[in-house]
């Protein structure tokens, strides 16, 4: 069994502590994330995903239940140590760019953690190289595209060599190309190191990349499983405001037209193969 990295137990959280009429943002949520996994968290707008992210790195603390990171319950004492092990990238590329130029921004977390100057220079260069942004070292944020800004944010998040990378809709404000750039970067990082990736997303392509998917609905964990297990739920997901992978939609539409298929396929390859073997290869 792999090592447990983050674990939530019966976590309930409400922003409106004094108003019991407001539905809590999270209600009795439990899950465990293991080392080197890629976990996607999906769910409709307002289902509590960002709140989960804030709980996982101690920006918020739950009213009931516990959040354990690296086996220890998260508290005021181990907070900063935990944060240095967890890089985080947010949705809006403009609002998380702290430094005046790309290299200053990447160095920010290093400065905060008291890394000596020489090592800082090395790490900044290495991080920027990893996200393919070395040539933009001296650029100012308003001269970068959204995708480039997010890659800088990733470089800043990994400069401390964290164990966990947490992405909260990091691609949702980007154009398709920017999104592809960012995803390719994360995928590559994941391969090179044993990073644990947690990505919160509305984007199915991104969810399909994951080993496990946690689906949130109205502040509760709805299901958890591999992408296959989740998307087999079909219509149920659509009713909860999610979308299905393209191949799956086509499979369902074909069946509705009276074309038998082995299954509702998740990937285009499977669908093409199925169509070939059962209908065209005669």
Partner 1 sequence: MDITLQQVSYAYAKNTPFEKRALFDVDLHIASGSYQAIIGHTGSGKSTILQHLNALLKPTDGSINIGDVEVKADKKNKQLREVRQKVGIVFQFPEHQLFDETVLKDIMFGPMNFGVPEVEAKRRAIELTQLLGLPEEVLEKSPFDLSGGQMRRVAIAGVLAMNPKVLVLDEPTAGLDPRGRKEIMDLFYTLHKEKGLTTVLVTHSMEDAARYADQIAIMHNGKCVLEGTPQEIFAHEERLTEFRLELPQSVRFQKKIEQMIGKKLPTICLTEESLAEELAQLIKKEREE
Partner 2 sequence: MLEKMIFGRYIPGDSFIHRLDARAKLIFVFLFIAIVFIANNWITYGVLVVFTFLIIRMSKIRLYFLINGLKPVVILIIFTFLLHLIFTREGDVIYHWKFITIYEEGLRQGIFISIRFFVLVILTSILTLTTTPISITDALETLLNPLKKWKLPVHELALMMSISLRFIPTLMDETDKIMKAQMARGSDMTTGSLKERMNAIVPLLIPLFVSAFKRAEDLATAMEVRGYKGGEGRTRYRKLEWELRDTITMFSLVVLAGVLVFLRQ
**Smaller CB separation from partner 1, 86 or 213:** 213
* C-alpha count within 13 angstroms, C-beta hemisphere, residue 141: 18
- Decide: is 229 part of the binding site for partner 2 (CB under 8 A): no
**φ and ψ of 159, to 5 deg:** -60, -30
State the DSSP H helix or E strand holding residue 7, giving kind and residue range, or none if neither. Answer: strand 4-13
Residue 25 binding result from partner 2, partner 1, ligand ATP, none, given CB thresholds of 5 to 8 Å by partner type: ligand ATP
Q: Residue with CB nearest Mg ion?
A: 50
Pair type for strands 164-168 and 196-200:
parallel
**112 is written with which tokens?**
């905060």
User: Taking the complex as a whole, how short is the minimal distance between the CB of residue 262 and ligand ATP, in angstroms?
Assistant: 34
Residues catalogued as catalytic: 169
With CB under 5 A as the contact rule, which of the stretches 44-52, 62-70, 126-134, 152-160 interacts with Mg ion? 44-52
Q: Largest Cα–Cα distance in the chain?
A: 69
Applying CB under 5 A, among 9, 28, 36, 50 the residue interacting with Mg ion is 50
Per-residue mark of binding to partner 2, 140-179 (x: CB under 8 A): xxx-------------xx--x-------------------
**270 is written with which tokens?**
């499977």
Residues 42-81 that bind partner 2 (CB under 8 A): 57, 59, 80
Is residue 170 within 8 Å of residue 131, measured between CB atoms?
A: no
Give the contacts of 217 (CB within 8 A, at least 6 positions apart). 43, 44, 47, 240
Which class for 151: exposed (0-12), middle (13-18), buried (19 or more C-beta within 10 A)? buried
Beta bridge partners of 64: 12
What's the full length of the chain, in residues?
Answer: 282
Binding site for ligand ATP (CB under 6 A): 15, 25, 43, 45-51, 169, 175
Binding site for partner 1 (CB under 8 A): 43-46, 91, 145-147, 169, 172-173, 175-178, 202, 204, 238, 241-243, 246-247, 249-250, 253-254, 256-259, 268, 272, 275-276, 279-280, 282
Binding site for Mg ion (CB under 5 A): 50
Binding site for partner 2 (CB under 8 A): 57, 59, 80, 83-84, 86, 88, 90, 92, 94-101, 103-104, 107-117, 120-121, 124, 140-142, 156-157, 160
């Amino acid at each position: 069994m792999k090592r447990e990295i983050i674990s939530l137990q019966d976590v309930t959280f409400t922003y409106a502590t004094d108003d019991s009429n407001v539905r809590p943002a999270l209600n009795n949520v439990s899950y465990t994330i293991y080392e080197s996994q890629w976990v996607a968290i999906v769910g409709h707008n307002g289902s509590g995903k960002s709140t989960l992210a804030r709980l996982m790195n101690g920006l918020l603390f739950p009213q009931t239940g516990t959040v354990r990171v690296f086996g220890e319950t998260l508290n005021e004492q181990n907070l900063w140590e935990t944060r240095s092990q967890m890089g985080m990238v947010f949705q809006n590329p403009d609002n998380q760019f702290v430094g005046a130029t790309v290299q200053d921004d990447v160095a920010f977390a290093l400065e905060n953690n008291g890394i000596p100057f020489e090592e800082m220079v090395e790490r900044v260069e290495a991080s920027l190289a990893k996200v393919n942004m070395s040539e933009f070292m001296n650029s100012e944020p308003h001269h970068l595209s959204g995708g480039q800004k997010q890659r800088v944010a990733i470089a800043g998040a990994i400069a401390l060599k964290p164990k966990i990378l947490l992405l909260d809709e990091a691609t949702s404000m980007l154009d398709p190309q920017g999104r592809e750039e960012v995803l390719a970067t994360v995928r590559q990082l994941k391969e090179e190191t044993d990073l644990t990736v947690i990505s919160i997303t509305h984007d199915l392509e991104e969810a399909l990349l994951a080993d496990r998917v946690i689906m949130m609905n109205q502040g509760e964990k709805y299901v958890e499983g591999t992408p296959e297990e989740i998307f087999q739920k079909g219509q149920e997901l659509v009713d909860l405001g999610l979308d299905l992978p393209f191949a799956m939609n086509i499979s369902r539409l074909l069946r509705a037209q009276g074309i038998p298929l082995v299954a509702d396929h998740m990937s285009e390859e499977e669908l093409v193969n199925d169509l070939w073997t059962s209908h065209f290869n005669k």
